[in-house]
Amino acid sequence: MTATPGATPTIVLVGHGMVGQRFLEALAERGLTATHRVVVLCEEPRPAYDRVQLTSYFSGKTPEELSLTDMGFIEDHGIELHLGDPAETVDREARKVTARSGLVVGYDILVLATGSYPFVPPVPGKDATGCFVYRTIEDLLAIEEYARAKATRGAVVGGGLLGLEAAGALKGLGLETHIVEFAPRLMPVQVDEGGGAALLRTIAGMGLTVHTGVGTQEIVSDDSGAVTGMKLSDGSALDTDMVVFSAGVRPRDQLARDCGLTVGERGGIAVDEQCRTVCDPHVFAIGECALAVDGRVYGLVAPGYEQAETVAAAIAADEADQVTFTGADLSTKLKLLGVDVASFGDAHGTTEGCLDVVYADSRAGLYKKLVVGRDGTLLGGVLVGDAEAYGTLRALTGSVPPVSPESLVLPAGADSGVQLGPSALPDDAIICSCHNVSKGTIRGAVTEHRCTTVPEVKKCTKAGTGCGSCVKVLGQLVTAELEASGVEVDKGLCGCFAQTREELYEIVLALRITSYRELLDGHGRDGARGGDGCEVCKPAVGSIIASLAPSIGASGYVLDGEQAALQDTNDHFLANLQRNGSYSVVPRIPGGEIAPEKLIVIGEIARDFGLYTKITGGQRIDMFGARVEQLPLIWTRLVDAGFESGHAYGKSLRTVKSCVGSTWCRYGVQDSVRMAIDLELRYRGLRSPHKLKSAVSGCQRECAEAQSKDFGVIATANGWNLYVGGNGGATPRHADLLAQDLSDAELVRLIDRFLMFYIRTADRLERTSAWLERIPGGLEHVRDVVVHDSLGICDELEKLMRAHVAHYRDEWSETVTDPEKLARFVSFVNAPDTPDPVVSFVPERDQIKPDLPLLNIGLRPADDALEGSAQR
């Protein structure tokens, strides 16, 4: 069919990705779906999904959860969506599109949103069995299937955004993973040399092997045509079972070429400021297939959304909404392999006369660079390892910040200058670049449209519904605006309790409440009383009661009575749940010191039960692969040998790491091993809002890495320096110096106070690093309370800690001697002698590994069972 004069005008959209879906929404917002017939031709077998979050499929998200398409929206607006039926030809003269199925659709307006295709270097062997690209959900499904069946090693060609995501996917599948990048650094487009170096160190520390500055010369295969290796341009070779090409993308413009539309020299459909093709006023192009007037093809979602809205405005011919697209902000914030990476503005410092302000901590994997003009204008920057300030910094780009550039990059507590927050931004600062939403619009949603929650503001403004990098800033602005308007902000723990965790702690302590039921019925919200509670408050209250057990007369055993029903998945079996349904066993090894006899016991147990063993970064020995019914048998032998629970499963103290100290090291000035053992034995089993890690270094050389711990101790010639609030992992933070040159007694007293003050005032699942930055007054307030007793509560804090130390009991020692407690350790209650058939293993490097690498165990939201164990 062709367009008929007088008939309902037809808009044909070719492609239904993220940008295509945003275009449909923009049409609906302007009422164009009511006045036009809208037809969508989509190549993929599924409607638009979140390609930005594609890798989250490998961490448990389903394709349905990644979907961006509400089929109710499609039906309500009468949109004709044809899945798996791409456009094959366009007849511009007759204004009609022919789809693969033979469907012919006439159009008045044609919008091409065909996206891009993965670039595969023209190397010999690129079509071998085991070679993949990384672009769609179908690509991921194919990679997953092949990795499960035939691969133990994988290589990713390309170290850009998608390349690192692909590497993370292969690593998550249990493969030995290599990254091959032709440029001299990872992510060469987004980060500079310093940022690339920090990223490389962090990724290499995760066990991935990175090859930069080399290209792929050939893919080697065996007689069956399956991949067996790669030859690189430097003459080296890699053994690999599969190859994922992620070396960039190219505009998908073949449909446009075939129908005679103008394309750029390097690809992309040439468009004007309204995204209308330069040679046909009836055809538009948006997203990764479009070549904008500034000569760029934009590969980010935010510019694509802006183009989609530009075309909708042009179709509506809205004189009051004259939207043009002449270029876009290339700022981006991502989390790649668990590492925060962000760049904004002139990240590479190309502006003439600009200056750099750089903060780098190679040990912590931190790199922050701001590019500043000579007049003080913030021009851009790069953040690696800690992108917390991205939203604020990006919004300030192009202006002179009200504080010094140094205070914008230094970690909290390292500078006396004022730390800048979102509230200091001007109203015209763009908070959500995906949907071009300003701070003023967000404030208006609260003050004019009466939005009181982040979800309500999202719905009202679309802020935070794109890539999601602005959600934290969005929440801060909503809270600040509500408070400024005199509106009481609900800071309750959850829907069951109007009180914060800190307030519930005080209630439990003051009233000596020993059960969740008593607390809920006496202090829960109306409607929650008499109910069963929720997944948020049950483990949080369970932790509070466990922390205060000796002082309030409660049982200190977390699986006694009602307490058992409150615990996270890990605590249910006093072990860390692993990805295939098996469990890990982690005995405590205080200070990393262990006698040969105990080493032999661990070795014998691992051998007898066929467990995988690994030395951790926290100076312990993890044993993986135990079935639930084996846990009591294993722990009986461990307890008989003098071991106790290492609490790798609990929100409690994990380890106190140490160097060898003055006993062995010629640089040591204090006995760090003795102190580490004393501290670990003192604080073992201490339940807290989140896990706790510690370390003691015997001198300033800091071999135990104490400054990356929740509380860390470094020896001096005069005693001990105490650092607090450090954090490694995905969001590293350097610890702050709380006090120095302490005696043994002074050190222990201050740690007692610090830990109990943290447990008393932190939010649920809040690490000390986040708590220290959130609590009003920050480090100085904590120092006033803990060191100078400004609140007069230190006697009480010390008393609470003494009660914990005096009443500590090892959970596994109690468990293995109680038949009633042992009864819970079965896979099937109705068949206690039947092992779980899902728990199975395959050999790897003389040990075992799970043979179900992507089995998604149903964890409670509060669990961190799958969190990296590098510092357990």
DSSP, residue by residue, 237-305 = EEE-SEEEE-S-EEE--HHHHHTT--B-TTS-EEB-TTSBBTT-TTEEE-GGGEE-TTS----SHHHHH
Q: Is 236 in contact with 214 (CB distance < 8 Å)?
A: yes
Give the pair of three-digit tokens for residue 668: 């040591």
Percent of the chain with pLDDT over 90: 50
Percent of the chain with pLDDT over 70: 92
Q: Could you tell me if 60 and 15 lie in one domain?
A: yes
Q: Is the pLDDT of residue 751 over 60?
A: yes
Which residue in 473, 538, 871 sits closest to 706, CA to CA?
Answer: 871
Q: Is the pLDDT of residue 374 over 80?
A: yes
Q: Could you tell me if 138 and 243 lie in one domain?
A: yes
Separation CA 203–CA 214 (nearest Å): 18
Q: Is the pLDDT of residue 853 over 60?
A: no
Residues with Cβ within 8 Å of 450's Cβ and at least 6 positions away in sequence, in order, are none
Q: Could you tell me if 169 and 263 lie in one domain?
A: no
Query: Which parts are annotated binding residues for siroheme?
Result: 703
CB count, 10 Å around CB of 171?
Answer: 19
Q: Could you tell me if 62 and 104 lie in one domain?
A: yes
CB count, 10 Å around CB of 13?
Answer: 30
Separation CA 556–CA 841 (nearest Å): 36
Q: Could you tell me if 155 and 92 lie in one domain?
A: no
pLDDT at 322: 62
Q: Is the pLDDT of residue 1 over 50?
A: no
List the single range of 260-274, 444-458, 661-675, 736-750 with lowest mean pLDDT.
444-458
Which tens digit of pLDDT belongs to each residue from 120-178?
A: 999 999 999 999 999 999 999 999 999 988 899 999 999 887 888 888 888 888 899 99
Give the pair of three-digit tokens for residue 522: 């006496």
Which residue in 590, 591, 589 sits closest to 601, CA to CA?
Answer: 589
pLDDT at 868: 38
Q: Show which of 274, 304, 321 is a domain's final residue.
A: 321
List the single range of 51-65, 205-219, 413-427, 807-821 with lowest mean pLDDT.
413-427
**pLDDT band of 321, cuts 50, 70, 90:** low
Total tally of structural domains belonging to the chain: 4
Task: Judge whether 315 lies within some domain.
Answer: yes
Q: Is the pLDDT of residue 706 over 80?
A: yes
Q: Show which of 538, 567, 596 is a domain's final residue.
A: 567
**pLDDT band of 589, cuts 50, 70, 90:** very high
Q: Show which of 534, 567, 600 is a domain's final residue.
A: 567
Separation CA 27–CA 313 (nearest Å): 8
Report phi then psi at 75, rounded to 5.
-70, -45
Q: Could you tell me if 279 and 199 lie in one domain?
A: no
Give the pair of three-digit tokens for residue 150: 């035939």
CATH number at residue 177: 3.50.50.60
Q: Is the pLDDT of residue 217 over 80?
A: yes
Query: Which parts are annotated binding residues?
Result: 659, 665, 699, 703
Please list the alpha-helical segments (H only) found in 177-260.
193-204, 254-258
Mean of pLDDT values over 746-763: 96
Q: Could you tell me if 234 and 185 lie in one domain?
A: yes
Conformation bin of residue 581: beta by default, left when phi > 0, alpha when psi is -120 to 50: left
Burial category of 617 from C-beta neighbours within 10 Å (exposed 0-12, middle 13-18, buried 19 and up): middle
Q: What b-and-e string marks burial along 368-386, b requiring 16 or more CB atoms within 10 Å of the CB? A: bbbbbbeeebbbbbbbbbb
Q: Is the pLDDT of residue 491 over 80?
A: no
List the single range of 30-39, 89-98, 263-272, 563-572 with lowest mean pLDDT.
563-572
pLDDT at 822: 87
What do you get for the CA distance between the two ends of the chain, in Å?
66
Task: Judge whether 20 lies within some domain.
Answer: yes
CA 239 to chain centre: 30
CATH number at residue 475: 1.10.10.1100
Provide the 3-class DSSP secondary structure of residue 128.
coil
Task: Judge whether 480 lies within some domain.
Answer: yes
**pLDDT band of 487, cuts 50, 70, 90:** confident
Residues with Cβ within 8 Å of 289's Cβ and at least 6 positions away in sequence, in order, are 15, 112, 113, 114, 115, 116, 251, 252, 253, 256, 268, 269, 297
Task: Judge whether 836 lies within some domain.
Answer: no
pLDDT at 41: 97
**Average pLDDT of the chain?**
86
Instruction: Find the largest Cα–Cα distance for the chain.
Output: 93
List the single range of 243-257, 659-673, 813-827 with lowest mean pLDDT.
813-827
Q: Is the pLDDT of residue 625 over 70?
A: yes
Q: Could you tell me if 197 and 143 lie in one domain?
A: yes
DSSP 719-788: EEEEEES-B-TTS-BPPEEEEEEE-HHHHHHHHHHHHHHHHHHPPTT--HHHHHHHSTTHHHHHHHHHTT
pLDDT at 617: 85
Q: How many Cα atoms occupy the beta-carbon half-sphere of 757 within 13 Å?
A: 28
Task: Judge whether 598 lies within some domain.
Answer: no
Separation CA 213–CA 210 (nearest Å): 10
pLDDT at 604: 96
pLDDT at 757: 97
| Residue whose pair of structure tokens reads 């179908």 in the numeric block | 138
**pLDDT band of 415, cuts 50, 70, 90:** very low
pLDDT at 864: 38
List the single range of 66-70, 458-462, 488-492 with lowest mean pLDDT.
488-492
Domain holding 457, by residue range, is 422-489
Separation CA 755–CA 85 (nearest Å): 61
**pLDDT band of 363, cuts 50, 70, 90:** low
pLDDT at 872: 40
pLDDT at 791: 92
Q: Is the pLDDT of residue 417 over 50?
A: no
pLDDT at 467: 65
Q: Could you tell me if 49 and 147 lie in one domain?
A: no
CA distances from 82 to 49, 707, 718 (A): 15, 57, 75
Query: Which parts are annotated binding residues for [4Fe-4S] cluster?
Result: 659, 665, 699, 703
pLDDT at 866: 32
Separation CA 79–CA 200 (nearest Å): 46
Q: Could you tell me if 431 and 523 lie in one domain?
A: no
Task: Judge whether 662 lies within some domain.
Answer: no
Separation CA 181–CA 307 (nearest Å): 31
Task: Judge whether 527 lies within some domain.
Answer: yes
Q: Is the pLDDT of residue 379 over 50?
A: yes
Q: Could you tell me if 430 and 443 lie in one domain?
A: yes
Q: Is the pLDDT of residue 747 over 90?
A: yes
Q: Could you tell me if 459 and 427 lie in one domain?
A: yes
Q: Is the pLDDT of residue 366 over 70?
A: yes
